[in-house]
Structure 1
Amino acid sequence: MKFGRGNGLLKTALFSAAWASLIGQSAADLKGVFAHYMVGSMTADEAVTDVNDAKGLGIDAFALNVQSTDGWATSAIQHMFDAAGSAGFKLFFSFDMNSFKDPKDFLPLLQQYANHTAYYRHNNRPFVSTFKGGSATFGQQNANDGWDVAFRKPSGVNPFFVPNFDDASGYPSSFFDNFPVVDGVFGWETAWPSEGAGKVNVSDTVDNAVLEAARAANKVYMMPLSSLQFKNLNGQNWYRIGELNYAQRIEQVLELQPDFVEIITWNDAGESHYIGNFWPEQLAGSDIGKYTNGFDHKGWQQLLPPFIQAYKSGNTDITKLYPPSGKSASGAMWYRPVLTTSDCPDKPSGWQDAQDAVNYAVLLPENAQGFQINVYSNNQQIGSFPAKPGMNSRMVLGLQAGPQRLEVVDGSGAVVARAEGTKDVQTSADMCNYNYVVVGLS
């Protein structure tokens, strides 16, 4: 497995509306929310579960990260298309160029499924993406010519090509001048602060620049949304901040209103940023389970339906992100099961950027008044914060060894929702597990 905008925002929004009008579509019609999906061994029933779960959240399609055309992979892909076809869900391929060396190796797969009823199409063209590949030339003088000669021309399916080419030389400067072969571009690295960047918030400066360049070139931008990166596998061991990353990216996506959003990821347990299921077969033969088993991230899903609805309607205001009708609150609490000072071997690179905190994102209804969010670590209150309608998010420093808890209290003092940690924080452990314990509100 692989595991300051101001006027610029206004200009981007106006350009988006004008561009959509130019091609005869509303801005909302152009939008899609996808989830990156690592193709691994699986059963037909597991495919059905994943498809139904994602559809229920309002996700439009899975971007199938394909790394192989061996039998285990093609079997899983068939299961996914069967499930999606039955459910009215969509899929598209995201070819992993860390594994494929030439498009000829995956073109037969694209040609096989491009006209499938479950294949996601944009402007009646099959949507195709990649993971990396922006420096691949395939024997041509440059990467643009390489992808044109080796992929676009011989594909025979007229793909709507939105690759992740942020590994291209000089990206994002002059990207669309250098790559006329693409119909748009998908960011990846902007989803998190860089490893070792310090205790900083995630930035959308590059996203904004690429989005404006895409508008000017009549191309599209697909923006990444993710939580964290923690990986400890095959000698790779790193951490990229996850304290409030997920909530901050939700806010940035709403502000920028890109053409498409891709959630990283649905099931990549290897990098810890999964929000959905991962199946035992997909982890077979690896050590991933040592830091993911028992770490359910589905609590993060509570934020998605209101976010997706807001994004597609053009809502840029997080104070309008409300819980489902009839609920007093929704959202999640998350924290690491070890402290930065815990006695545990093999700390990940970037661990110095981590902060010992209980983190939350809580959605409150439009009529919420007098609400408080109370946070407890080791049964001691470490914070109490007034809350308003919409999304309330915060990193609460003071994480202690022991149990963790969050309570949402209404104006009368009644607890209307809570999250109880499923794992105690440890002062010593067999490994420095920087994956997150995520608990949805109930």
Structure 2
Amino acid sequence: MRFLLTLATAALSLLPVHAAKEVFAHYIVGNAPELSQADWEDDIQLAQDVLIDAFVLNIASQDPNNAESLENAFAAANSKNFKLFFSFDYLAQGPWPKDQVISLIQMYGNNPAYFKHDGSKPFVSTFEGPDSAGDWPEIKATTGCFFVPDWSSLGPSGAVQRAGDTIDGLFSFDAWPTGSANITTDQDFAFKTALSGKSYMMPVSPWFYTNLPGFNKNWMWRGDELWDRRWEQVLEVQPDFVEILTWNDYGESHYIGPVRQKELGLFAAAAAPINYVENISHDGWRKLLPYYISQYKNGGANVTEEAAVVSYRSNPSTACLTGGTTGGNKLFGETEVPPEQLVDDNVFYSVLLNSSEDVTVTVSIGGQSQQGYFSSPPAGGDGSSGVYQGSVPFGFRRGNVVVTVARGGTTIAEVQGGPSISTLCINGVQNWNAAAISS
């Protein structure tokens, strides 16, 4: 019996040991060459305010601005007691040379601001790069890093097979649905199964739309109600880590950080027909993050502030020319459809409540009001505390949007100040990006 217990104890000691759950936000360093240390500190403070644990610094090989941007980033992070780690981008400007990867990890891996798995191993990820998988045994042996790459192009089983024993886990970039259906957890569980107990880092994103002809990018994926749905799925999947896509990828419209004019040069550089980010805030998508992150980390969360988040596109889907944008992308094996088939002309609202009892929602567009309803209660069911969701169609209404949440006739949350709904089109082109604002 003692021998069997010893064997059991030994077997348990071989199982992967995971750190406490953490939430990261993907940060495109290539968009930040004009940012000062103070700008970085501002971004970090905003991230800390909503319980984000670290920025994942996406860095492209050969980017001449990397050195100065990383210096500012780490100085800011150290001043704010915040963490950062690298995601080596193997697509933006080609693969990373192995010696440069080693050099950067060695340069910053011992920095107090560098995020370390279990407090000891520098956490390192990638954006793609499976063709360079053979570099990583030496990189890991030299740097002692904890390696969780994104090799999503190979699929879960293909990525695990390519990696062999090199990886400590995998990150999936599959954060958006295919076609008009809502996203499911099928791919997430496929990764967890393929990983056989190694760490899984799950992606969560609010939106996707890109129209950058100079980069040969012009498509969208369905984003209606995606943000809240993915956080609900995080609770179902229970991944080891969550990575938000993204903090500042303006070119693909899935930023949750502030829009800074000095970071929007890519629209001119890529000959975009419109700047589809300017004056389109996504700040609202941060509002409920402390609640969602606390649920993920602690298995539950108290409602400390009742609040509302509203998201919508400013143009009805057939009001303007599509801009050549497709719904879906054939390069990903998808059937391309007209983009208007993937979106609803609705004002969407998510309301965090202690209870839904005697709560009403009123959506006003251009001064014309309509009562809203909750189509999706929280997991605890109607009447429980949590996030309630619903939407109201534009119809023929145009103008400023105001959403009012009241209990017993007394306003508890009001959302306004976003773009007005209009058939006026910038350069005659549809903006498929959505605004997200909060109370």
Aligned-pair RMSD on alpha carbons?
2.4
Cα pair distance change 1:292/1:174, threshold 3 Å? closer
1:418 aligns with 2:408: no
Contact 1:69/1:106, CA 8 A, preserved across alignment = no
Match of 1:159 in 2: 145
| 1:372-395 Cα distance to aligned partner (Å, 9 max, x none) | 222233433444225742111224
Contact 1:37/1:62, CA 8 A, preserved across alignment = yes
Match of 1:89 in 2: 82
The TM-score with structure 2 as length reference comes to 0.83
1:354 aligns with 2:343: yes
Match of 1:331 among 304, 308, 318: 308
Match of 1:231 in 2: 210
Cα pair distance change 1:184/1:111, threshold 3 Å? same
Give me the whole-angstrom Cα distance separating, in 1, the residues matched to 2:65 and 2:157. 39
Aligned length: 393
Alignment of 1:184-333 (within 5 A): 184-189=169-174, 191-194=175-178, 197=179, 199-214=180-195, 216=196, 218-233=197-212, 234=214, 235-284=216-265, 286-287=267-268, 290-315=275-300, 322-323=302-303, 325=304, 327=305, 329-333=306-310
Cα pair distance change 1:68/1:172, threshold 3 Å? closer
1:125 aligns with 2:121: yes
Give me the whole-angstrom Cα distance separating, in 1, the residues matched to 2:22 and 2:225. 24
Cα pair distance change 1:278/1:100, threshold 3 Å? farther
Cα pair distance change 1:88/1:406, threshold 3 Å? same
| 1:389-433 Cα distance to aligned partner (Å, 9 max, x none) | 2111224334543222211110x2122111125211122302211
Match of 2:160 in 1: 176
Which amino acid is the alignment partner of residue 434 of structure 1? W
The unaligned stretches of length 5 or more in structure 2 are 1-8, 328-338, 378-382
Match of 1:11 in 2: none
1:34 aligns with 2:11: no
Alignment of 1:353-392 (within 5 A): 353-365=342-354, 367-385=355-373, 388=383, 389-392=385-388
Cα pair distance change 1:361/1:226, threshold 3 Å? same
Deviation at 1:368, TM superposition (A): 4.9
Deviation at 1:371, TM superposition (A): 1.2
Moved more, 381-390 or 353-362: 381-390
Match of 1:15 in 2: none
What is the percentage of aligned positions where both structures have the same residue?
A: 33
SS of the aligned residue for 1:173 comes to helix
Give me the whole-angstrom Cα distance separating, in 1, the residues matched to 2:265 and 2:144. 37
| 1:79-134 Cα distance to aligned partner (Å, 9 max, x none) | 11011111111000001110242333333222100110000000310000011112
Match of 2:136 among 139, 147, 150: 147
Which amino acid is the alignment partner of residue 235 of structure 2? L
The TM-score with structure 1 as length reference comes to 0.83
Contact 2:259/2:281, CA 8 A, preserved across alignment = no
Which amino acid is the alignment partner of residue 224 of structure 2? E
Match of 1:403 in 2: 400
Contact 1:344/1:428, CA 8 A, preserved across alignment = no
Match of 1:108 in 2: 103
Give me the whole-angstrom Cα distance separating, in 1, the residues matched to 2:438 and 2:107. 40
SS of the aligned residue for 1:290 comes to coil
Cα pair distance change 1:408/1:347, threshold 3 Å? farther
Contact 1:221/1:258, CA 8 A, preserved across alignment = yes
| 1:181-201 Cα distance to aligned partner (Å, 9 max, x none) | 110000112x1113xx1x211
Which amino acid is the alignment partner of residue 184 of structure 2? S
Give me the whole-angstrom Cα distance separating, in 2, the residues matched to 1:377 and 1:280. 28
Give me the whole-angstrom Cα distance separating, in 2, the residues matched to 1:82 and 1:73. 14
Give me the whole-angstrom Cα distance separating, in 2, the residues matched to 1:184 and 1:383. 47
Match of 1:76 in 2: 69
Give me the whole-angstrom Cα distance separating, in 2, the residues matched to 1:401 and 1:344. 18
Deviation at 1:30, TM superposition (A): 2.4
Which amino acid is the alignment partner of residue 319 of structure 2? S
Deviation at 1:281, TM superposition (A): 3.2
